[in-house]
Amino acid sequence: MHGIRENTQIFIFVFAFFYLLFLARKAAHHQVDVYDVFMLSMVAIVPGFFVIFPRIVYWIAKIVGIEFPFVIMFGFLFAIIFLFIHRLTIKIHRLESENRLLIQETSLLKHSLSSDRAK
Amino acid sequence: MSIVDQAVLVIIPCYNEEISIGPLLEEIKACGMNYATIVIDDGSKDDTFMIANQVSPTIRLLKNLGIGGSVQMGVMYAERNDFDFCVQIDGDGQHPPSEIAKLLNAFRENPCSIIIGSRYLLHDTFRSTWARRFGSQMISKTIHYLFHGCNVTDPTSGMRLMDRKAIKLFASRYPHDFPEPISLVWALSEGLSVAEVPVQMREREYGRSSIIGFKPIAYMFRVISYIILARVVLSTRCSRGRD
């Protein structure tokens, strides 16, 4: 099967199965949102897909002129992780701003309440 | 309505300033100008809040937000309480309250949305370190080149007057990293007018500045990067006089 050994396939399938199960449980308990589950599950799905359809990797490698087909898989994973980090960075910044505003509004409200009480 | 009749709020952001805040508030009262004051205690670990609250309305931020968050808090307070002007001064006593009148007089002569109290216009006040002066100069030059000749000699000054337009802008958004120069650039990008007036400043008596050694140089590069980004990304309208 195009140079991928059986034990490698088993290893990747077992990893993919347990990781997807872990993510599914997290999503079911609302600990991770669906978009994050989708992005993170790619870490299991992409290697699984390339193990099931190794010809596709060779085909893409030939088209883009990459000598080692496994680089394609890492390239895909890198791109997905980059997208994920990009989205998280923006999300963290937005949450920081919202948190700051919340602190300001709460502090202002606390000040107004204590001023009213003093009157 | 003359400027004397208009409501002026003095915003004093502070963090661990228990020694200087009391004398500073007394000094503001002693000016006899009936300025309203608001002290923003940025989550101090000492008795700043307790001391300030006895003399002036004081808001204690529930968590330390830094100078940007504190100043914005004061500006939000100014907007919600319908002040015509607010003047920001440091809580460490570096900015003598008697100099506030110079900012108000400058507004009366040449109404601009932001009036900065500058240390470098007349060179007759205390001199900060060479690294700070160099950093400030480079930031000034960058603003001058990118905003069509806006001449600001002290973009990092923490003493500034804001009118209603500036209050409205900064209450809705205010930079939290390097707030003084970046807020200036945001205001210029929004078409607000900026002017400067020479003021006297004092060296801080207590505590220590966090921007020491070669930090001002790193500060300068970061601020300049922000300014360039603001110039490229935000709308660019600079005016030196009032519209």
Dihedral sign from CA coordinates of A101, A102, A107, A113: positive
ipTM above 0.95, yes or no: no
At how many degrees (to 10) do helices A54-64 and A34-52 cross?
90
Residue B92 sits in a domain of what CATH number?
3.90.550.10
Cα separation, A2 vs A51, in Å, equals 9
Does the pLDDT value for residue A2 go beyond 60? no
**Among B97, B115, B95, which residue's Cα sits nearest to residue B105?**
B115
Whether B10 shows a pLDDT value over 90: the answer reads: yes
Tens digits of residue pLDDT in B129-185: 777 778 888 898 999 888 887 888 899 899 999 999 999 999 999 998 889 999 999
pLDDT digits (tens, 9 = 90+) for A75-102: 888 998 899 899 999 999 999 999 999 9
Of the candidates B57, B62, B176, the beta carbon closest to that of A107 is on B62
Q: pLDDT at residue B237 above 50?
A: no
Give the contacts of B18 (CB within 8 A, at least 6 positions apart). Answer: B44, B46, B47, B48, B51
Strand B85-88 vs strand B160-162: parallel, antiparallel, or unpaired?
A: antiparallel
Alpha-carbon distances of B14 from A7, B39, B54, B80, B116, rounded to whole Å: 64, 7, 15, 21, 19
Q: Which of B90-99, B154-163, B208-217 has the lowest mean pLDDT?
A: B208-217
Picking from A24, A59, A49, A52, the residue whose alpha carbon sits closest to that of residue A38 is A24
B187 closest CA partner among B152, B141, B136: B152
Residue A110 scores a pLDDT above 60: yes
Q: What is the pLDDT of residues A20-76, one digit of tens each?
A: 999 988 888 888 888 888 888 888 888 888 888 888 888 888 888 887 877 888 888
Sign of CA dihedral A59, A65, A66, A67: positive
Given an 8 Å threshold on Cβ–Cβ distance, is B59 in contact with A108?
A: yes
Tally of structural domains, chain B: 1
Chain B residues in contact with A103 by the CB 8 A cut-off are: 61-63, 65, 69
B88: Cβ contacts below 8 Å, ≥ 6 apart: B10, B11, B13, B71, B74, B158, B159, B160, B162
Gap between the Cα atoms of A46 and B21, Å rounded:
61
Mean pLDDT computed over B113-121: 91
Task: Name the residue facing A107 among B57, B73, B176 (closest C-beta).
Answer: B73
Residue B59 forms contact with A (CB below 8 Å): yes
Dist. CA B67–CA B14, nearest whole Å: 8
* Contact assignment for B62 to A115 by CB distance below 8 Å: no
Q: How far apart are CA B152 and CA B118, in angstroms?
A: 8
In this model, does residue B236 exceed pLDDT 50? no
8-state DSSP, B125 = S
> Which of A97, A103, A104, A117 should be substituted to probe chain B, the one whose Cβ sees the most B Cβ atoms within 10 Å?
A104
Domain boundaries, chain A: 6-118
Give the pLDDT band of residue B229 (cuts 50, 70, 90): confident
| Mean pLDDT, residues B191-201 | 91
Q: B39 and chain A: CB distance < 8 Å anywhere?
A: no
Residue A116, phi then psi, degrees to nearest 5: -60, -40
Give the whole-angstrom CA distance, residue A40 versus residue A81.
Answer: 8
Residue B51 domain-assigned (yes or no): yes
Yes or no, beta carbons of B176 and A100 under 8 Å apart? yes
Residue B202 in 3-state DSSP?
coil
Q: Which residue of A has its CA nearest to B41?
A: A107
| A35 vs A84: CA distance, rounded Å | 10
pLDDT of residue B23 exceeding 90, the answer is yes
Please report the pLDDT score of residue B135 as a whole number.
83
Contacts of A111 in chain B (CB under 8 A): 57-60
Residues 142-201 of B with CB under 8 A from A: 176
- The percentage of residues in chain B with a pLDDT greater than 70, rounded to a whole number, is 87
Is residue B169 assigned to a domain? yes
- Using CB atoms, pick whichever of A103, A110, A115 lies closest to residue B65: A103
Contact residues, chain B, for A98 at CB < 8 Å: none
Has residue B242 got a pLDDT over 70?
A: no
- Cβ-count burial of B158 within 10 angstroms (0-12 exposed, 13-18 middle, 19+ buried)? buried
A107–B60 C-beta distance less than 8 A: yes
Residue B48, in any domain of the structure:
yes
Region A8-18: what's the mean pLDDT? 87
Closest CB to A108 among B63, B76, B176:
B76
Which range marks the domain in which residue B101 is found?
Answer: 3-128+151-205
A103 touching chain B per CB within 8 A: yes
* B44 closest CA partner among B30, B63, B19: B63
pLDDT in tens, B120-144: 887 666 666 777 778 888 898 999 8
Whether the per-residue pLDDT at B209 is higher than 90: the answer is no
